[in-house]
Structure 1
Amino acid sequence: MALYMTRLILPLGRARLQHIKIVALPGYFFPKTPLEFQPIEIKRFFASSTRFNMESFTKDKVVPDVIDKAPPKLLKLHYGSIEVKPGMVLTPTQVKDRPKVEYEAEAGAYYTLIMNDPDAPSRKNPVKGEWHHWLVTNIPGADVSKGEENSQYVGSGPPKGTGLHRYVFLLFKQPKGKMTFAGLPKLSNRSGDGRANHKVKDFTKKHGLDGNLVAGNFYQAEYDDYVPKLYEQLSGK
């Protein structure tokens, strides 16, 4: 693999650019003689990084527990200054507010965003999984704020002693453009009713979204002192 680097040389007050080819061997880098201008080649690096991120979906068994194969692209998520990397561990306190979501959208396309926890009440006994945390449909392009928030955002609330839960974000392109999601309830973030056993595979099959996954991400979290406050919120208090 070869990378091309550019350095600035200042002989006797005159600036000029020199382009150096770097040859990579296992554990070593050897600069060769200066070459004519070459573009900086970093595509392979980013492709490798993306592939590593996507492998986390299989490593942490989001595949096949939630979806059949890893998303083709990474869904960018930020909780404040925290950029979510697939499989990273966060706290319920850090994720109590809805994240900023970014992705590349096709012109004129509509999207559906789903956030689920397959590990409710625990990964060993997921009888209430997938527990549904957020659902936004009919998102025009990449502007999530202009979509229809069918289920208001609820942060992570893993019960005490149940270990790490996976919180999975999946973005689907709506193949028929703007859609009517018949029978879909509006769920408030002041109640946990209607959120258990909401499986992504069943939902996407019912509404014709299966096969249209375009991006995804997930983090893991376990109990902290914010969780009782979230439970109080979900009780309507």
Structure 2
Amino acid sequence: MEDIVPDVVDSVPKGMLQVLYPGNLFVEQGNELTPTQVKDEPRVTWVSPEGEGSETLLTLLMVDPDAPSREDPEFREILHWAVVNIPGDDPRAGYILAEYVGSGPPLNTGLHRYVFLLYRQSRKIEETLPIIKTIRKGRLNFSARDFAAKNRLGSPIAANYYQAKYDDYVPIRNKQFTG
């Protein structure tokens, strides 16, 4: 997990998110998956911190800090998914700020990190119009740090990540964008 410090977070979160893609593919602290394998939204689970119940609200983010490449992260970060106001431990019951978009690293840019972050909310986050999966606007130059600061989230309480590089699914994925 040290691979995401300091590019995405200031320190390694204590908790571990369990991320499972269709086909029984687990995200395991930097393992390599392909864009084809991660094209569909994963199931994300975690153990709620002790003493917290369903009244606790959480935020789940997924970002790529390596756009267009790790050596030249000009668009750091790209927002791939954002769910806020998650009650307890069920992300499907939260509000989607940005619909899930799978990995799409450009050709010849090497491995990109795709980082899942879980934050404890201090208050409900305003539910604005979501960024739908076919829209790029609002995804480039996203900052998990700035989002956390703006919404008084503090440091993430759990994380996990995988790495991916270009495969033949990327052009198919990119044709889905309309704006």
- Structures share fold, TM-score greater than 0.5: yes
Partner of 2:178: 235
- Counterpart Cα distance in 2 of 1:180 and 1:90: 32
Partner of 2:125: 180
Q: CA deviation at 1:214?
A: 1.3
Q: CA deviation at 1:180?
A: 3.2
Residue type at the aligned position of 2:152: G
Higher percent of residues as helix: 1
Please tell me whether Structure 1 or Structure 2 has the larger radius of gyration of its CA atoms. Answer: 1
Partner of 1:165: 112
Deviation string 1:114-141 (CA, Å, 9 cap, x unpaired) is 0000001111111111000000000011
- Counterpart Cα distance in 1 of 2:25 and 2:120: 26
Which of 42, 57, 64 is the equivalent residue of 2:6?
64
Partner of 1:36: none
Matched, 1:199 2:143: yes
- Counterpart Cα distance in 2 of 1:173 and 1:156: 25
- Counterpart Cα distance in 2 of 1:84 and 1:186: 26
User: Which protein, 1 or 2, shows the higher relative CO under an 8 Å CA cutoff with sep ≥ 6?
Assistant: 2
Which of 20, 32, 36 is the equivalent residue of 1:78?
20
CA contact (8 A) 2:84 2:125 kept: no
Partner of 2:63: 116
Q: CA deviation at 1:82?
A: 1.1
Partner of 2:35: 92
Partner of 1:40: none
Q: How does 1:2-21 map to 2 (within 5 A)?
A: none
SS at 1:64's partner residue?
coil
- Counterpart Cα distance in 2 of 1:159 and 1:185: 28
Structure 2: 5+ residue runs without aligned partners?
A: none
- Counterpart Cα distance in 1 of 2:7 and 2:76: 10
Q: CA deviation at 1:65?
A: 0.6
Residue type at the aligned position of 2:11: K
Give the TM-score normalised by the residue count of structure 2: 0.93
Q: CA deviation at 1:234?
A: 1.4
After superposition, the CA RMSD in angstroms is 1.3
Q: CA deviation at 1:181?
A: 2.6
- Counterpart Cα distance in 1 of 2:8 and 2:111: 16
Structure 1: 5+ residue runs without aligned partners?
A: 1-56
Deviation string 1:170-225 (CA, Å, 9 cap, x unpaired) is 0001123xx1337x5520101211100101111101110023x2110000000000
Identity %: 47
Matched, 1:151 2:101: no
SS at 2:5's partner residue?
helix
Q: CA deviation at 1:233?
A: 0.7
Number of residue pairs the alignment of both structures matches:
174
Give the TM-score normalised by the residue count of structure 1: 0.71
